[in-house]
Amino acid sequence: MATHQKSRSSAQPPKGFQVTRDLPVGRHPLLVAFPGADKLLVAERLQPDPVARAKLFDETCVQVVDQDLWMYVAPWDMPPGARRQWNPVLSPGSDCIVIGKAHLSESPPIVLFMDIFHELCHVIQRHGGANLWAPGVSYVKRWTELEAYRFVIEEARRLGVTDEFLRDYLRVEWISEDEHRQLLEALEVPVA
């Protein structure tokens, strides 16, 4: 699950990254929300096989919801314990990235760029058999989160994003300050 960030960055997403900010609540093809995302170099780095890449972008959808949230891959079924903390959109048998309407319409383009590719990493991981919501594993120690964050941090650094921005990007409301520090250390982002 990727989050909304507080700080702004002068860095911009790669040329050609587009966002359809006024999508109505509902389900849409991913490439309607992010036209041309499959043609970016980052998409090739994410999924080098052109057939698998085309399938990833053609078969993944986004669901815009009128809720105060950022982005997450919709589980196929209810993760253990989720009802107590979170009531996710479920998408049995299909890949869907849930996006809060305000996040889509208001967040800086660099944040949306990082978030959508973070979530696409999770879609690929799930296809490889990963459990994205492994019970009993801390968010900051889940290999799936670390791998997805490493990928987008590397891409963001190519674009000139600062360590300060990355520290803020990695500050998510469901982890403690100590866990935030652990996440920064695991991802080799200097602690301020």
Span 153-162, pLDDT tens digits:
999 999 999 9
Give pLDDT, residue 65. Answer: 97
Residue 154 included in any domain: yes
Question: Among the listed ranges 42-51, 57-66, 138-147, which one has the minimum average pLDDT value?
Answer: 138-147
Residue 21 included in any domain: no
Residue 16 included in any domain: no
Residue 32 included in any domain: yes
pLDDT tens for each residue of 50-86: 999 999 999 999 999 998 888 999 998 887 766 566 7
Q: What is the mean pLDDT of the chain?
A: 91
Task: Judge whether residue 175 has pLDDT over 90.
Answer: no
Q: Could you tell me which of 89, 87, 82, 37 has the C-alpha nearest to residue 63? A: 89
pLDDT tens for each residue of 96-114: 999 999 999 999 999 999 9
Q: How many domains does the chain have?
A: 1
Q: What is the domain range of residue 160?
A: 26-186
Give pLDDT, residue 85. Answer: 65
Residue 4 included in any domain: no
Residue 33 included in any domain: yes
